[in-house]
Amino acid sequence: MFWEVELIIYIFIVLSALLALKVHDLLVAVVMMTVYSFSIALLFVAMGAIDVGYTEAVIGAGITGILFILVIYKTTRHTKD
């Protein structure tokens, strides 16, 4: 596809991954992880692998986010470091 679209998606991936590593609030980190997964899914679709992108969007942005949010509610929301 157009290389400009893929460049914007790459920038989104790198920014969301760095933000998910650096942030102290774990809920924000989970949301950044879902943004990362969805950007990866968009990149797969832009590369032409629609089924892989579909799976990544459903699993990475849906189920994994729900399970991480469950674990955050069970334990604690803020990290110490």
Q: Does 23 bind other proteins (CB under 8 A)?
A: no
Q: Does 11 bind other proteins (CB under 8 A)?
A: no
Contact between 61 and 73 (Cβ < 8 Å): no
**In the complex, minimum distance from the CB of residue 2 to other proteins, in angstroms, rounded to a whole number:** 13
Which residue's CB is nearer to other proteins, number 10 or number 54?
A: 54
Contact between 34 and 12 (Cβ < 8 Å): no
- Nearest Cα neighbor of 61 from 26, 31, 17 is 31
By rule CB under 8 A, what string of x and - marks binding of each residue 44-63 to other proteins? ---xx-xx--xx--xx--xx
